[in-house]
Amino acid sequence: MRWTCAARRIEPVLKVENLSVSFVTRMGTTKAVDDISFTVDKGKITAIIGESGSGKSVACYSLLGLVPQPPGRIDGGRALFHDQDLLQLDPTALRKIRGRDIAMIFQDPMTCLNPYMTIGRQLMEPLLYHKKVSRAQARSRALELLEEVGIRDPVSTIDNYPHQFSGGMRQRVMIAMALINEPELLIADEPTTALDVTIQAQILKLLASLQAKRDIGVLFISHDLAVVADIADQIVVMQQGRIVEAGKRDAIFRNASHPYTQKLLHAIPHGGKPGERPVCEPLVTVRNLCTWFGSRKSPVKAVDDVSFDILRGEVLGLVGESGSGKSTIGRSLLRLVPVTSGEVRFEDTDVTALQGRALKNLRRRMQFIFQDPFASLNPRMTVYDTLAEPLLLHGLESRGTVGAHVLKLMDDVGLARAFVRKYPHEFSGGQRQRIAIGRALATRPEFVVADEPVSALDVTIQAQILALMQELGREYGLTMLFISHDLSVVRQLADRIVVLHKGTIVEQAGTEDLFERPQQAYTRQLLQSIPGRTLLNLDAPLGESTA
Amino acid sequence: MWRFIGFRVLQSIPVLLVVITVTFFLVRIAPGGPFSGEKAVIPEVKAALEAQYRLNLPMFEQYTAYLGDLARGDLGPSFKYPGRSVNELIAAGFPVTAELGLYALLVAIGIGAIAGVIAALRPNTAQDYVPMSVAMIGICVPSLLMGPILILVFGIYLEWLPVSGWGDMPGDKILPAITLGSTYAAYIARLSRAGMLEVMSQDYIRTARAKGLPEWRVVTGHALRGGMIPVVAFLGPAFAGLLSGSFVVETIFQIPGLGRFYVQAAFNRDYTMILGATVFLATLIVVFNLLSDILAAWMNPRLRSQFGD
């Protein structure tokens, strides 16, 4: 599995050989990283791809001594950084390298900056600690870097706290913080996973340009092949702690030999959904919907004068960045938030006027699937209770007969019947989303709002859940509002797409029309932000979507 | 910010009113009265006394008259200390109690926060178990047991410290402060352990480590502030609790504080003194709760910016 760059002599910044890491717990020893070797070259980007639990993060954290030991244990191997073995260094020496020669960027900029400290203080910290500079020097350096990573007006924002920045801006601050000591190696752990597509595209571009300018090595960790397709030089694919395939980017995309790599490639959503559906009359009509929050004087117009139809049997994709009001629309349709004005009709019923029992009856016919299946499932309820509750609540089954129905639901969403007495924490993310789907379908609704149902999941799991939703949609004859920030996911499922920006509709069109002939500048910008366009342009025999 | 404070102050008025009303009627329902002693009092004298203290009026009129006085800040005359008003008695006793409470609070924060942080740095090791077990004992042992134990050990066997009095001998304030503070030290230790444990598992602590900061800087610079917010929020109720709970310690160590007046007043059915002390302490509890809420909110930049305007 070792590969070298024989053609050109590029010196590696980091050379990892036969690294093995395991976790020792009372339950036994688990090998998290098993005998992996890779290099990061000067001025190049090496991407490590794998699903959560594949050991990719553990491998990188262990290089810097950031894996707590115990329970972590480094079983062997070398990690050469300038001829010193990082794994053999004592904690103090390693600490001096951290943040000075090797810096890190983490996944979630929302939680990775200290909320109690101004960003200026956090930025200056590595400089003050590692180099002998005065506070004034550190501050001016921090201002320079903030400018460079694209923070507008750094002088007036440097003393702000992290919560005053958006997610994308915080990630820029993280990047500035990592680069402030001009490290030779940057480890970026899923730096764009928590961001919107357009922001993701900006951050990737920024990272690539900063990396090229400084000629530093980057180790880029991601679960998403599409994300690294545009920027990586080398790709290392990991599964269950091992490297299954490694090589130059184009080689991986063209001639992936390992089945797991092929599966990852196929899991990248591309192409539209197969087959068209007969067009019917609208099931849900939305007219001039406004949902405002906050005070009367200065309301936050989350949804502002939005009108659209959802036809019976179709999947309508609702696309927008965070803050565009797409989730609020979904919640407004089901009256989960109070509607300010406008009309929502479900068949001939005005949903906004319903009260009490009538509303409850309607809710049986309209269901909601949430983004985070862990947060939306009650941790104290077994799967059985979760699935049985809506059936009993709406009087569809009695205590005696509900069991059979629950088991049927388990079959439908592809969960083993034996799992029925388990609690949510015992399941993986994908399985939890299956439970959530089962709960939503329990009452045999006609209309389902799915709010980012797959964005918390790994790509291969994403593909499975999308396939499941497609299949169940057909089987149950569902009409669906599918909300997502990810255009490529929506493309797979939706018949038509509504693009939302700052609470108003920018464009609505049939899925293929929108992708082929976007009318609005904002839509084009969204489309250009889809990661992995390089990959789609490679004329490799990737095959059609198999999801 | 000011709206929040104003709202909370308004909120406290009905709370205090309920406290006053309930206490007023409860002490009067309790059997006995201020002038029913072992020696019978001549009826004429008793009548004169009752008239002087408005006890001859119907109960509801007594109540409204008391509220009227209270609105003017007058807590009324003491029944058992003739010639002295409740205001004077509280003014005499409270500074002593407040001083004791302050020392006890310092003991509680000092011991509690340090023990909690130390325990949180190495969870589920001896460094965690030992201080936390001691804290558990601290919570379980009431001060009426803790006081005598400390007196026995440090006062009588070791003869290191005086066992009673307040400001009469050097070091006589140490044992009462420790006795009173120990329970709260234990609570604070548990709170700060939980707070620190939560913060230490946050992503931004990992960021701080990735910057190459030494561990002590990670703890003091990044973790402490967030970890101590629950403790700060607890300080208000804790100080109020120390003040109102000090009567046991004051009685054990013969300290002339408010608590002792309070206990004696209860035995003597000194209606105005009971009421006055209750109203006074209830007000303190409300005020300190508000102060610690403001402080805890102030420590969180996110809430602070909401307060700012």
How is domain A282-516 classified at the CATH fold level?
A: Rossmann fold (3.40.50)
Partner residue opposite A66 with nearest CB, options B209, B217, B299: B209
For A298-356, the pLDDT digits (tens) are: 777 888 888 888 888 888 999 888 778 888 888 888 888 888 888 888 888 888 877 77
Partner residue opposite A98 with nearest CB, options B204, B212, B300: B212
| Contact residues, chain A, for B122 at CB < 8 Å | none
Q: Cβ B209–A100 below 8 Å, yes or no?
A: no
CA nearest to A65 within chain B: B210
For A60-76, the pLDDT digits (tens) are: 888 888 887 777 888 88
CA A492 – CA A469 distance, rounded (Å) = 11
Q: Cβ A125–B211 below 8 Å, yes or no?
A: yes
3-state secondary structure A443-480: CCCCEEEEECCCCCCCHHHHHHHHHHHHHHHHHHCCEE
Domain limits, chain A: 13-266, 282-516
For A355-381, the pLDDT digits (tens) are: 778 888 887 888 888 877 677 788 888
| Contact residues, chain B, for A66 at CB < 8 Å | 206, 209-210
Q: Cβ B222–A97 below 8 Å, yes or no?
A: no
Is residue A271 pLDDT above 60, yes or no?
Answer: no
Is residue B309 pLDDT above 50, yes or no?
Answer: no
pLDDT band at A544 (very low <50, low <70, confident <90, very high): very low
For B226-276, the pLDDT digits (tens) are: 888 889 888 888 888 888 778 888 888 888 888 888 888 888 888 888 888
> What would be the CATH architecture of the domain defined by A13-266?
3-Layer(aba) Sandwich (3.40)
Q: Cβ B204–A111 below 8 Å, yes or no?
A: yes
| Contact residues, chain B, for A124 at CB < 8 Å | none
pLDDT band at A539 (very low <50, low <70, confident <90, very high): very low
pLDDT band at A446 (very low <50, low <70, confident <90, very high): confident
Q: Tell me whether A305 touches chain B (CB under 8 Å).
A: no
Q: Cβ B211–A164 below 8 Å, yes or no?
A: no
The C-alpha of B295 sits at a distance from chain A's nearest C-alpha, in angstroms, of 14
pLDDT of residue A143: 92
Delineate the domains of chain B, giving CATH numbers in brackets.
86-308 (1.10.3720.10)
For the complex shown, is ipTM > 0.95?
no
Q: Cβ B213–A125 below 8 Å, yes or no?
A: yes
Query: How much is the pTM?
Result: 0.70
pLDDT of residue A108: 79
CA nearest to B303 within chain A: A163
Q: Do domains A13-266 and A282-516 have the same CATH topology?
A: yes
- Residue window 127-166, chain A: list those with CB within 8 Å of chain B: 129-130, 161, 163-164
CA A368 – CA A288 distance, rounded (Å) = 22
CA A273 – CA A260 distance, rounded (Å) = 24
Q: Cβ A97–B300 below 8 Å, yes or no?
A: no
For A164-216, the pLDDT digits (tens) are: 888 888 888 988 898 888 888 999 988 887 777 778 888 888 888 888 888 88
Cα separation values, A66 from A39, A87, A403, B20, B221, Å: 20, 11, 47, 58, 18
If you average pLDDT over residues B16-32, what whole number do you get? 85
Q: Cβ B299–A99 below 8 Å, yes or no?
A: no
Instruction: Name residues whose C-beta falls within 8 Å of residue B105's C-beta, 6 or more positions apart in sequence.
Output: B181, B184, B235, B238, B239, B242
Interior CA angle at A153 toward A149 and A158, to 5°? Answer: 80
CA nearest to A161 within chain B: B301
| Contact residues, chain A, for B204 at CB < 8 Å | 111-115
> What 3-state class would DSSP assign to A144?
helix
Is residue B281 pLDDT above 80, yes or no?
Answer: yes
> What 3-state class would DSSP assign to A183?
coil
If you average pLDDT over residues B210-224, what whole number do you get? 88
End-to-end CA distance of chain B: 7
pLDDT of residue B305: 67
The C-alpha of B225 sits at a distance from chain A's nearest C-alpha, in angstroms, of 7
Q: Cβ B210–A129 below 8 Å, yes or no?
A: no
Q: Cβ B211–A98 below 8 Å, yes or no?
A: yes
Q: Tell me whether B212 touches chain A (CB under 8 Å).
A: yes
pLDDT of residue B194: 92
Q: Tell me whether A80 touches chain B (CB under 8 Å).
A: no
